Structure 1
Amino acid sequence: MTTRFRAVFFDAANTLVHPHPPVGELYARTARKYGVDVSAADVQAAFRRSWEVLQVKAAGDPVRYGIGEADGRRWWHALVAETFRPLGLPQPFDTFFDELYTLFAHPDVWRVYPEVEEVLRTLKARGLTTGVISNWDVRLGPLLEGLGIRPYLDHVVLSAIVGWEKPHPRIFESALELVGIPASQALHVGDNYQQDVVGAQQVGIYAVWLRRRGTDQADCPVVSSLRDLLPMIDGADQIPESSSCSQG
């Protein structure tokens, strides 16, 4: 079957994979080994607040994780410290952080969403190029290998390698350059409206918003499962050259 799309790009976190158990539980479980007894709910709430704090501090920076592993470790070290400061810092903190950083590089604490392998296999069977465009550090490539889905992805474009984060146009342009196609022949799907939808649209990529917990009204393509992409791609010749969207 022919389609105008030649490549389909995916966000990674909460699109292809998700942490399991949740971040708060993993952080709390590890912290108890270092003398800090906190609930998973308290850690999860502190993590979210700390994430927002670091986002504000990093506003205007092209990439939070920097380039390479060392910069990524420094960013996560700051985030974990900010998370536990109001709860009590596990000691020795650097040893605690090293264990946590290593833990999240391991596939045992991540899950692939049930439909992902089927969708990637189908896209590959139809001759489409597949790839990931992700704001992630250098641990993602080996993680996707360990989770068994890297063979179905032709390219993995990481902010920590290219030096730009979504929604900056440059990270999307890097992906297009790797595949060697114009933006009009690419589709990108992700769960973050600003990063994945607005970011992709800025360069002319057809953007699809993934909302796994329900598809609220929006004037752009919205799916609750990646399986919903397949009929959309099949009917690509009947959809507009670019998607438009407003967050609802």
Structure 2
Amino acid sequence: MNNLTSNVPIRWIAFDAVGTLIFADPGVAETYTRIGNRFGADLSTEIVRSRFQKAFAEHQRTFSTNEDHELNFWKRVVGEVLGPVENADDCFNELYRHFSLPESWRLADHAAEVISVLQSEGVGVAIASNFDRRLHTALDGHPVLCDIDVRLISSEIGWRKPSQQFFEALVDRCECAPDQILMVGDDFANDYTGARNAGLQAVHLGAGRSDIDSEFQIGSLADVLPLSRCGL
């Protein structure tokens, strides 16, 4: 892992989306259960949650991607989670559309305040996400997120985190040196390790990892503001 230079001024902060800035509300398992059972799945939320975690982990996606790859991935996941249902295409389409709706996502605590302060202080704000084009409509429905026009979405740029190509595209969009970008995310491999290996600064959102120095861990988005002013 790269040893990054201390006290490099931060010009841009790039946030992961799901699990960092936004959270499914209701949760993924609850939504799959509700919609799936309307189409005859007859499953408990606990079973759906277990199946989802297993299916999501087993169907590892390659670094290269596009809209078709992402769509097919989710079709496989939904099929394995819900099993046989009535009108399977309609069931999938309803689920797929659900997660494009702004009202299906809640903002993380402190997200609105942190983004507003960063923008007022002249720090660039970007979103860097492993998602598909549905993320645009989800973000556009939240006032504090809709004005963020630097959005790196894996299905659109053709590469997923933690690939080097994804972070190179982020650097190109921000038009600055890699170590002037701070990546903030909840996924250790995708957001933290991937960014640091590409020469960016990074912090992991979430406490308790023994394999990261405490200075590179934050427990809340509110902890981003001091970092944006002094670097790491």
TM-score of the aligned structures, taking structure 1 as reference length: 0.85
CA–CA distance in structure 1, aligned partners of residues 157 and 163 of structure 2: 11
CA–CA distance in structure 2, aligned partners of residues 160 and 74 of structure 1: 12
Match among 104, 120, 124 for residue 109 of structure 1 = 104
Using the TM superposition, give the Cα deviation of residue 173 of structure 1 relative to its aligned residue in structure 2, in angstroms: 0.9
Question: In structure 2, the residue corresponding to 1:35 is in which secondary structure?
Answer: coil
Question: In structure 2, the residue corresponding to 1:9 is in which secondary structure?
Answer: strand
Aligned position for 1:78: 76
Conservation of the 8 A alpha-carbon contact between 2:205 and 2:217? yes
- Give unpaired runs (5+ residues) of structure 1: 240-248
The answer to whether residue 129 in structure 2 is matched with residue 134 in structure 1 is: yes
- Give unpaired runs (5+ residues) of structure 2: 1-7
The answer to whether residue 118 in structure 2 is matched with residue 123 in structure 1 is: yes
Alignment of 1:151-190 (within 5 A): 151-190=146-185
- Which stretch of the first structure deviates more once superposed, 96-105 or 145-154? 145-154
Question: In structure 2, the residue corresponding to 1:207 is in which secondary structure?
Answer: strand
Cα-to-partner distance string for 1:7-54 (whole Å, 9 max, x where unaligned)? 000100110001011111100101121112211111011000000110
CA–CA distance in structure 2, aligned partners of residues 126 and 154 of structure 1: 17
Relative contact order, CA 8 A, sep 6+: which one is greater? 2
Conservation of the 8 A alpha-carbon contact between 2:9 and 2:230? no
CA–CA distance in structure 1, aligned partners of residues 71 and 172 of structure 2: 28
**RMSD between aligned alpha carbons?**
1.7
Alignment of 1:211-226 (within 5 A): 211=206, 214-217=207-210, 218-219=212-213, 220-226=215-221
Alignment of 1:190-209 (within 5 A): 190-209=185-204
Aligned position for 2:36: 31
Question: In structure 2, the residue corresponding to 1:76 is in which secondary structure?
Answer: helix
Aligned length: 224
Aligned position for 2:87: 92
Please tell me the residue identity of whatever aligns with 1:28: T
TM-score of the aligned structures, taking structure 2 as reference length: 0.91
CA–CA distance in structure 2, aligned partners of residues 130 and 138 of structure 1: 19
